[in-house]
A and B are shown apart, each in its own frame.
Chain A
Amino acid sequence: MDALILQILNGLDKGSAYALIALGLTLIFGTLGVVNFAHGALFMIGAFCAVSLSKLLQFSYVTIDETQKDFLGNPLKVETPYIESWFGPELGASIIDWSVPLSILLAIPVMILVGLIMERGLIKHFYKREHADQILVTFGLAIVLQEIVKYYFGANPIQTPPPDALMGVSNLGAWFGFDLPYPNWRIVYFCFSALVITGVFAFLQFTTFGMVVRAGMADRETVGLLGIDIDKRFTVMFAIAACVAGLAGVMYAPINPPNYHMGMDFLVLSFVVVVVGGMGSLPGAVLAGFLLGILESFASTTWATTTLPGINQIIIYLVAIIVLLTRPRGLMGRKGVMEE
């Protein structure tokens, strides 16, 4: 029983990342009708927001402490981060410690800006072009973004630890009387993504803006005829989708040290997730994300890998193939989306 729960929990963190990226992809596809292959790159940029903030906060100046000597007998050089000298050592140290959660504040404006520039500068011209062209141009954009990040941050993964308070492992099963150790940060990640997903759905469901966007997704032309500038709202939705992907990336940084190609790795899987969930269906994307994350975690158990070697690597693709062949519209796909 506890093994079962542990596998489900293990699948949740990857599943949340898939769900967040797939949610953004579906938002973009549902509103603008654009297949965005650069979405993985947005996830990666989010993760690098966390990296750059933690680097920025650790900017320090060097003072020479005459009273202490290093092992060569020279006066000891002490590096003090500027933050510590401005806010005092204790507050400064804890700001540095909490750099990853703080990066959310940096990531939101950055991602919105990146999203707006991307949409206005490039995607706008591709509304009416074929899906193949959209895939190709965003694929090119993904390469460019990836290479820019590689140029500034190098090709190696960069460790970005979570705050000390959230670092350890806690025993989730203690309340229910069995043993279930689970890393704290993954719980945080799951709660965070649940919050973001709820936020996006609430925004779409309970605000006037969201209502208009939903109407536009259902029938763009009629909304336009009612005198609403739907393109402007869709641009905002693109920025929100970019933001969701970026936030997923920020919080994922402590789980998996960010490197420049992490976006591409996630992108392929997220596309599979979107297709399984049903192109254009937001709940479908979230459901499929969690479902595939959990399935992947079950397939990685020793029992599964000994009975069917390699199943953990191909399970998602296998499920996608089966779903696509038996339910062409995916699990929750709407009629009339992406059909000739």
Chain B
Amino acid sequence: MLGLNKNDLTLLAIVAVLTLFAPFILNPFPADSAMAQFNAGYPDLMQRFIIFGIFAIGFNILFGLTGYLSFGHAAFLGVGSYASVWMFKLLSYNVVPAILLAVIVAGLFSVLIGYVSLRRSGIYFSILTLAFAQMSFALAYSVLSNPRFNLTNGETGLQVYKNDPQIFHGENMQDFPHFFGIYMNSTHTMNVGAWSFDFNAGYYLCAIVMILAFYLSIRIFRSPFGMMLRAIKSNQTRMSYTGLNPRPHTLAAFVISGMYAGLAGGLMAAMDPLAGAERMQWTASGEVVLMTILGGTGTLIGPVLGAGFIKYFENIFSKINDTILHQWFAFLPDGIEDFVVFIIHPFIGKGWHLTLGILFMLVVVFLPGGLVEGGQRIGKWIKSRGKSDDSTASTEPAE
């Protein structure tokens, strides 16, 4: 069905079910219990999961398949955001033209950057993309916001003002992005006993887009084109000896992943009609690299997992503070309790990046395949343990 084999179809179905029922799944704790702070089922965070998931899926098409490590993908995300805010400013708050333009503009931009950067490979490619991204960041921050030609609105960030043309903006429409009249911030809250679940229109738009994006990425992974990209990663020389030119394929992969980034940027602007230059900074590009690696490079589900993992723990860890820690460790004797809290303190709250950095190093050192590999290893371990029990049972009589 849908041109997928059985395994992929199951994977797609699992992802679809998980995303569509996320408001339930991510809210396992009653709203006013002590554990409610571990709930992630509020619209803003769920939207971030999905948007960064799309970004990472796209990045994985380039990095996971071809092995080209781009350090400038945030530039496409930023360009996408700017493009869609411009659509809001010029046409109306409808998200469809905004997202379409975001994808197209990011695609064109990535053709330009990719054409130049892909002339080199390895670390040179990384540095070139980094240089281009930093250049676009610097330009968006300063030059493109001069009074004569204000494209990005500099430090303030691009946003919609009352005196913008908005030629298709209806008379009694609210000033917020909408999908043919469904506002992105409209939320239906369902209360079931002590639980409350939020169903947000913006989230569901993102979720549907992500399922489509995920489907497309499965198709790319399984297509002859995807095979070609893998060939580029494993041995480019051999590929060119067989008479195939790797560059158009790599460029296509680069542009596709740039368009995914643009899509993510467009959605980001649709959820909150504001675009700032800091989205293009190289640390933002670093973040998507982290997500992809953490989840598992070159796997289908990995990037989504990585994005969800990083965004969830970012949110949870930065919320925990010393008081909560003291509550948790209250069962320990006083001195030890204080000591434990003192040890953990640097890793929580504002120190979340420290935890992230350590985690990331551990993953690269011990688990190069990311969370997916970790899962597989655990699975294997459980299986082999079952088997080894059998084997010892069978060998014992021989002794």
How would you classify the secondary structure of chain B's contact residues: helix, strand, loop or mixed? helix
Q: Which single residue of chain A is at the shortest CB-CB distance from B358?
A: A144
Instruction: Flag whether A217 is at the interface (Cβ < 8 A).
Output: no
> Which parts of B108-161 form the interface with A (CB within 8 Å)?
116, 119-124, 126-128, 130-132, 134-135, 138-139, 141-143, 146
Instruction: Flag whether B351 is at the interface (Cβ < 8 A).
Output: yes
Instruction: Flag whether A324 is at the interface (Cβ < 8 A).
Output: yes
Instruction: Flag whether A247 is at the interface (Cβ < 8 A).
Output: no
- Cβ distance B260 to chain A, nearest Cβ, rounded Å: 20
Given contacts A136-B364, A137-B365, A340-B237, is CB(A321)–CB(B128) below 8 Å? yes
> Which residues on B sit within 8 Å (CB–CB) of A137?
361, 364-365
> Which parts of B261-304 form the interface with A (CB within 8 Å)?
282-283, 286, 289, 293
Q: A126 to B368, alpha carbons, bound, how many Å?
A: 12
Q: A151 to B142, alpha carbons, bound, how many Å?
A: 31
Q: Which single residue of chain B is at the shortest CB-CB distance from A313?
A: B138
- CB pair B365 A317 closer than 8 Å: no
Q: Which single residue of chain B is at the shortest CB-CB distance from A144?
A: B357
- CB pair B351 A147 closer than 8 Å: yes
> Which parts of A138-157 form the interface with B (CB within 8 Å)?
139-144, 146-148, 151
Instruction: Flag whether A328 is at the interface (Cβ < 8 A).
Output: yes
Instruction: Flag whether A35 is at the interface (Cβ < 8 A).
Output: yes
- CB pair A35 B236 closer than 8 Å: no
- Cβ distance A240 to chain B, nearest Cβ, rounded Å: 22
Instruction: Flag whether B258 is at the interface (Cβ < 8 A).
Output: no
- CB pair B135 A268 closer than 8 Å: no
Q: A49 to B135, alpha carbons, bound, how many Å?
A: 32
- CB pair A140 B357 closer than 8 Å: yes
Instruction: Flag whether A310 is at the interface (Cβ < 8 A).
Output: yes
Q: A317 to B117, alpha carbons, bound, how many Å?
A: 13
- CB pair A314 B120 closer than 8 Å: no
Given contacts A338-B122, A340-B236, is CB(A133)–CB(B364) below 8 Å? yes
Instruction: Flag whether B69 is at the interface (Cβ < 8 A).
Output: yes
> Which residues on A sit within 8 Å (CB–CB) of B123?
35, 131, 135, 275, 279, 338
> Which residues on B sit within 8 Å (CB–CB) of A143?
353-354, 356-357, 360
Instruction: Flag whether B226 is at the interface (Cβ < 8 A).
Output: no
Instruction: Flag whether B58 is at the interface (Cβ < 8 A).
Output: no
Q: A314 to B143, alpha carbons, bound, how many Å?
A: 10
Given contacts A135-B69, A271-B130, A314-B135, is CB(A321)–CB(B116) below 8 Å? yes
- Cβ distance A204 to chain B, nearest Cβ, rounded Å: 23
> Which residues on A sit within 8 Å (CB–CB) of B165?
none
A-B contacts, CB under 8 A, total? 109
- CB pair B353 A133 closer than 8 Å: no
How would you classify the secondary structure of chain A's contact residues: helix, strand, loop or mixed? helix
Instruction: Flag whether A318 is at the interface (Cβ < 8 A).
Output: yes
- CB pair A125 B121 closer than 8 Å: no
Given contacts A135-B126, A310-B142, A324-B128, is CB(A147)–CB(B116) below 8 Å? no
Q: Which single residue of chain B is at the shortest CB-CB distance from A275?
A: B127
Q: A142 to B365, alpha carbons, bound, how many Å?
A: 15
- CB pair B124 A328 closer than 8 Å: yes
> Which residues on A sit within 8 Å (CB–CB) of B360?
136, 139-140, 143
Q: Which single residue of chain B is at the shortest CB-CB distance from A29?
A: B123
Q: Which single residue of chain B is at the shortest CB-CB distance from A320?
A: B131
Q: A325 to B143, alpha carbons, bound, how many Å?
A: 25
Q: Which residue among B123, B146, B289, B354 has the maximum number of chain A CB atoms within 10 Å of its CB?
A: B123
Given contacts A136-B293, A310-B142, A321-B131, is CB(A144)–CB(B354) below 8 Å? yes
- Cβ distance A163 to chain B, nearest Cβ, rounded Å: 34
Q: How many chain A residues have a CB neighbour from B under 8 Å?
A: 38
- CB pair A268 B134 closer than 8 Å: yes
User: Per-residue CB proximity of A177-189 to B under 8 Å, as 1/0?
Assistant: 0000000000000
> Which parts of A289-340 form the interface with B (CB within 8 Å)?
309-310, 313-314, 317-318, 320-321, 324-325, 328, 338, 340
- Cβ distance A322 to chain B, nearest Cβ, rounded Å: 10
Instruction: Flag whether B248 is at the interface (Cβ < 8 A).
Output: no
Q: A140 to B356, alpha carbons, bound, how many Å?
A: 8
Q: Which single residue of chain A is at the shortest CB-CB distance from B286?
A: A139
Instruction: Flag whether A3 is at the interface (Cβ < 8 A).
Output: no
- Cβ distance B71 to chain A, nearest Cβ, rounded Å: 8
Instruction: Flag whether A132 is at the interface (Cβ < 8 A).
Output: yes
Instruction: Flag whether A241 is at the interface (Cβ < 8 A).
Output: no
Instruction: Flag whether B306 is at the interface (Cβ < 8 A).
Output: no
Q: A320 to B117, alpha carbons, bound, how many Å?
A: 11
Q: A313 to B286, alpha carbons, bound, how many Å?
A: 21
- CB pair B357 A141 closer than 8 Å: yes
Which residue in A122, A131, A264, A328 is a CB contact (below 8 Å) of B120?
A328
Given contacts A143-B356, A324-B120, is CB(A317)–CB(B131) below 8 Å? yes
- CB pair A131 B122 closer than 8 Å: yes
> Which residues on B sit within 8 Å (CB–CB) of A125?
365
The 5 A-B residue pairs whose C-beta atoms are closest, nearest first, are: A310-B143, A143-B357, A313-B138, A147-B354, A144-B357
Having A135-B123, A140-B364, one finds 9 other A-B pairs with CB under 8 Å, namely A135-B69, A143-B357, A144-B361, A264-B283, A272-B127, A275-B127, A313-B141, A320-B127, A321-B131
Residues of B within 8 A of A (CB): 67, 69, 116, 119-124, 126-128, 130-132, 134-135, 138-139, 141-143, 146, 236-237, 282-283, 286, 289, 293, 346, 351, 353-354, 356-358, 360-361, 364-365, 368
A-B contact pairs, 19 of them (CB 8 A): A131-B122, A131-B123, A132-B69, A140-B357, A143-B356, A147-B357, A275-B123, A275-B127, A309-B142, A310-B139, A310-B142, A310-B143, A313-B135, A317-B134, A317-B135, A320-B127, A320-B128, A338-B124, A340-B236
